Chain A
Amino acid sequence: GAGVSQSPSNKVTEKGKDVELRCDPISGHTALYWYRQSLGQGLEFLIYFQGNSAPDKSGLPSDRFSAERTGGSVSTLTIQRTQQEDSAVYLCASSPELAAQETQYFGPGTRLLVL
Protein backbone atom coordinates (compact mmCIF):
# COMPACT_ATOMS: atom_id res chain seq x y z
CA GLY A 1 0.00 0.00 0.00
CA ALA A 2 0.94 3.66 -0.20
CA GLY A 3 3.35 4.95 2.37
CA VAL A 4 3.62 8.35 4.00
CA SER A 5 3.94 11.09 1.41
CA GLN A 6 5.23 14.61 1.86
CA SER A 7 5.23 17.68 -0.31
CA PRO A 8 7.08 19.52 -1.56
CA SER A 9 10.17 17.34 -1.65
CA ASN A 10 12.37 20.43 -1.76
CA LYS A 11 11.68 24.03 -0.85
CA VAL A 12 13.94 27.02 -1.20
CA THR A 13 12.72 30.23 0.37
CA GLU A 14 14.01 33.62 1.39
CA LYS A 15 14.50 34.59 4.99
CA GLY A 16 11.33 36.12 6.41
CA LYS A 17 8.91 34.27 4.15
CA ASP A 18 6.30 31.79 5.40
CA VAL A 19 6.33 28.15 4.26
CA GLU A 20 3.83 25.30 4.48
CA LEU A 21 4.86 21.67 4.48
CA ARG A 22 2.32 18.93 3.86
CA CYS A 23 2.09 15.35 5.08
CA ASP A 24 -0.27 12.59 3.95
CA PRO A 25 -0.11 9.71 6.42
CA ILE A 26 -0.77 6.06 5.70
CA SER A 27 -4.51 5.53 5.34
CA GLY A 28 -6.12 4.53 8.62
CA HIS A 29 -3.23 5.65 10.82
CA THR A 30 -4.55 7.73 13.69
CA ALA A 31 -1.23 9.03 15.00
CA LEU A 32 0.94 11.46 13.07
CA TYR A 33 4.33 12.93 13.99
CA TRP A 34 6.66 15.66 12.77
CA TYR A 35 10.44 15.53 13.24
CA ARG A 36 13.31 17.64 12.00
CA GLN A 37 16.69 16.39 10.85
CA SER A 38 19.50 18.90 10.77
CA LEU A 39 23.29 18.68 10.81
CA GLY A 40 23.67 20.42 14.11
CA GLN A 41 20.75 18.91 16.03
CA GLY A 42 20.34 15.41 14.60
CA LEU A 43 16.81 14.03 14.61
CA GLU A 44 14.48 15.96 16.91
CA PHE A 45 10.80 15.62 17.68
CA LEU A 46 8.53 18.54 16.91
CA ILE A 47 4.89 17.56 17.50
CA TYR A 48 2.48 14.68 17.35
CA PHE A 49 -1.25 14.34 16.65
CA GLN A 50 -3.73 11.83 17.94
CA GLY A 51 -6.61 12.28 15.54
CA ASN A 52 -6.89 16.03 15.02
CA SER A 53 -5.59 17.07 18.41
CA ALA A 54 -1.99 17.81 19.39
CA PRO A 55 -1.59 17.12 23.12
CA ASP A 56 2.13 17.89 23.15
CA LYS A 57 3.51 20.94 21.38
CA SER A 58 6.62 21.16 23.53
CA GLY A 59 8.96 20.16 20.73
CA LEU A 60 8.14 23.11 18.50
CA PRO A 61 11.29 25.30 18.54
CA SER A 62 9.51 28.66 18.62
CA ASP A 63 6.11 30.29 18.22
CA ARG A 64 6.90 30.73 14.52
CA PHE A 65 6.15 27.03 14.12
CA SER A 66 2.62 25.69 14.07
CA ALA A 67 0.90 22.56 12.83
CA GLU A 68 -2.60 21.37 12.23
CA ARG A 69 -4.32 18.22 11.15
CA THR A 70 -7.75 18.09 9.61
CA GLY A 71 -10.13 15.19 9.11
CA GLY A 72 -7.78 12.91 10.98
CA SER A 73 -5.61 12.68 7.90
CA VAL A 74 -3.51 15.37 6.19
CA SER A 75 -1.28 17.56 8.33
CA THR A 76 0.37 20.88 7.57
CA LEU A 77 3.45 22.26 9.32
CA THR A 78 3.74 26.02 8.92
CA ILE A 79 6.85 28.05 9.60
CA GLN A 80 6.34 31.81 9.70
CA ARG A 81 9.04 34.38 9.09
CA THR A 82 11.60 31.70 8.26
CA GLN A 83 15.16 32.01 9.52
CA GLN A 84 18.33 30.43 8.18
CA GLU A 85 18.50 28.11 11.19
CA ASP A 86 15.18 26.60 10.06
CA SER A 87 17.02 24.95 7.15
CA ALA A 88 16.66 21.20 7.67
CA VAL A 89 14.85 18.13 6.44
CA TYR A 90 11.35 17.96 7.90
CA LEU A 91 10.12 14.42 8.36
CA CYS A 92 6.58 13.21 8.88
CA ALA A 93 5.69 9.80 10.31
CA SER A 94 2.49 7.95 11.10
CA SER A 95 1.52 4.92 13.14
CA PRO A 96 -1.70 2.88 13.45
CA GLU A 97 -2.29 4.17 16.93
CA LEU A 98 -0.58 5.97 19.75
CA ALA A 99 1.30 3.29 21.66
CA ALA A 100 4.90 2.69 22.65
CA GLN A 101 4.99 -0.61 20.79
CA GLU A 102 3.85 0.86 17.52
CA THR A 103 6.24 1.42 14.66
CA GLN A 104 6.37 4.91 13.23
CA TYR A 105 6.57 4.88 9.41
CA PHE A 106 8.43 7.81 7.92
CA GLY A 107 7.89 9.77 4.75
CA PRO A 108 10.73 10.87 2.43
CA GLY A 109 10.92 14.31 4.01
CA THR A 110 10.85 17.90 2.78
CA ARG A 111 14.25 19.51 2.43
CA LEU A 112 13.93 23.19 3.38
CA LEU A 113 16.62 25.71 2.54
CA VAL A 114 16.26 29.26 3.82
CA LEU A 115 18.50 31.73 2.04
Chain B
Amino acid sequence: GDSVTQMEGPVTLSEEAFLTINCTYTATGYPSLFWYVQYPGEGLQLLLKATKADDKGSNKGFEATYRKETTSFHLEKGSVQVSDSAVYFCALLNTGFQKLVFGTGTRLLVSP
Protein backbone atom coordinates (compact mmCIF):
# COMPACT_ATOMS: atom_id res chain seq x y z
CA GLY B 1 0.00 0.00 0.00
CA ASP B 2 0.87 3.67 -0.08
CA SER B 3 3.35 4.93 2.48
CA VAL B 4 5.37 8.00 3.48
CA THR B 5 8.77 7.99 5.14
CA GLN B 6 10.16 11.02 6.95
CA MET B 7 13.48 11.64 8.60
CA GLU B 8 13.60 11.00 12.31
CA GLY B 9 13.61 13.94 14.65
CA PRO B 10 14.05 16.03 16.52
CA VAL B 11 15.86 18.41 14.22
CA THR B 12 17.59 21.07 16.29
CA LEU B 13 18.75 24.28 14.60
CA SER B 14 19.83 27.76 15.50
CA GLU B 15 17.82 30.71 14.25
CA GLU B 16 18.61 31.67 10.62
CA ALA B 17 19.97 28.21 9.80
CA PHE B 18 18.95 26.34 6.64
CA LEU B 19 16.34 23.62 7.06
CA THR B 20 15.78 20.41 5.14
CA ILE B 21 13.33 17.74 6.23
CA ASN B 22 13.43 14.70 3.97
CA CYS B 23 10.28 12.96 2.79
CA THR B 24 9.97 10.05 0.38
CA TYR B 25 6.87 8.18 -0.65
CA THR B 26 5.67 4.93 -2.15
CA ALA B 27 2.46 5.06 -4.13
CA THR B 28 0.76 3.75 -7.21
CA GLY B 29 -0.43 6.30 -9.71
CA TYR B 30 -0.03 10.03 -9.28
CA PRO B 31 -0.73 11.19 -5.74
CA SER B 32 -0.92 14.74 -4.46
CA LEU B 33 1.69 15.58 -1.83
CA PHE B 34 1.29 17.77 1.25
CA TRP B 35 3.20 19.20 4.16
CA TYR B 36 1.16 19.85 7.29
CA VAL B 37 2.46 21.59 10.42
CA GLN B 38 1.34 21.22 14.01
CA TYR B 39 2.40 24.04 16.33
CA PRO B 40 2.50 23.32 20.08
CA GLY B 41 -1.03 22.98 21.44
CA GLU B 42 -2.65 23.54 18.05
CA GLY B 43 -4.26 21.47 15.32
CA LEU B 44 -2.88 20.40 11.96
CA GLN B 45 -2.51 23.19 9.41
CA LEU B 46 -1.72 22.85 5.74
CA LEU B 47 1.70 24.36 5.03
CA LEU B 48 1.98 23.66 1.30
CA LYS B 49 1.04 21.17 -1.38
CA ALA B 50 1.87 19.98 -4.90
CA THR B 51 -0.52 18.06 -7.10
CA LYS B 52 1.68 16.89 -9.96
CA ALA B 53 5.30 16.09 -10.80
CA ASP B 54 7.75 19.03 -10.85
CA ASP B 55 5.26 21.31 -9.10
CA LYS B 56 6.74 23.43 -6.32
CA GLY B 57 4.62 24.25 -3.31
CA SER B 58 5.59 27.26 -1.21
CA ASN B 59 4.31 29.17 1.81
CA LYS B 60 5.79 31.28 4.63
CA GLY B 61 9.30 30.85 3.21
CA PHE B 62 9.00 27.05 3.08
CA GLU B 63 9.10 25.20 -0.21
CA ALA B 64 9.01 21.63 -1.52
CA THR B 65 9.25 20.22 -5.04
CA TYR B 66 7.37 17.12 -6.19
CA ARG B 67 10.09 14.85 -7.62
CA LYS B 68 8.57 11.83 -9.29
CA GLU B 69 11.91 10.37 -10.38
CA THR B 70 13.14 10.17 -6.80
CA THR B 71 9.65 9.86 -5.21
CA SER B 72 10.53 12.70 -2.87
CA PHE B 73 8.99 15.88 -1.49
CA HIS B 74 11.65 17.39 0.76
CA LEU B 75 10.76 20.46 2.81
CA GLU B 76 13.23 23.37 2.81
CA LYS B 77 13.52 26.82 4.31
CA GLY B 78 16.45 29.14 3.86
CA SER B 79 16.39 30.79 7.29
CA VAL B 80 14.38 29.34 10.15
CA GLN B 81 12.90 31.32 13.03
CA VAL B 82 12.11 30.34 16.59
CA SER B 83 8.44 30.54 15.66
CA ASP B 84 8.94 27.69 13.16
CA SER B 85 9.38 25.23 16.04
CA ALA B 86 6.67 22.63 15.46
CA VAL B 87 6.05 19.11 14.21
CA TYR B 88 6.00 18.75 10.42
CA PHE B 89 4.08 15.96 8.68
CA CYS B 90 4.53 14.87 5.09
CA ALA B 91 1.45 13.25 3.55
CA LEU B 92 0.07 11.93 0.29
CA LEU B 93 -3.44 11.63 -1.12
CA ASN B 94 -3.89 9.19 -3.93
CA THR B 95 -6.52 9.26 -6.64
CA GLY B 96 -9.33 6.90 -5.75
CA PHE B 97 -8.18 6.56 -2.16
CA GLN B 98 -9.56 9.45 -0.18
CA LYS B 99 -7.46 9.07 2.93
CA LEU B 100 -4.37 11.09 3.65
CA VAL B 101 -1.40 8.84 4.36
CA PHE B 102 0.94 10.55 6.81
CA GLY B 103 4.56 10.15 7.71
CA THR B 104 5.49 9.84 11.36
CA GLY B 105 6.22 13.54 11.73
CA THR B 106 9.48 15.42 12.35
CA ARG B 107 9.85 17.72 15.34
CA LEU B 108 11.79 20.92 14.62
CA LEU B 109 13.31 22.88 17.49
CA VAL B 110 14.78 26.30 16.69
CA SER B 111 16.82 28.08 19.34
CA PRO B 112 17.62 31.82 19.41
Contacts and interface: CB of A to CB of B under 8 A. Distances in A.
Interface of A: 31, 33, 35, 42-45, 48, 50, 56, 59, 91, 93, 98, 100-109
Interface stretch (B13-21, B67-75, B77-85, B98-106): B98-106
B43 A100 contact: no
A98 to B, nearest CB: 6
B49 interface: yes
Contact of B100 (A45, A56, A98): A45
Most central of B44, B51, B89, B105 by chain A CB within 10 Å: B44
B46 A100 contact: no
Nearest to A100: B95
B28 to A, nearest CB: 12
Nearest to A106: B44
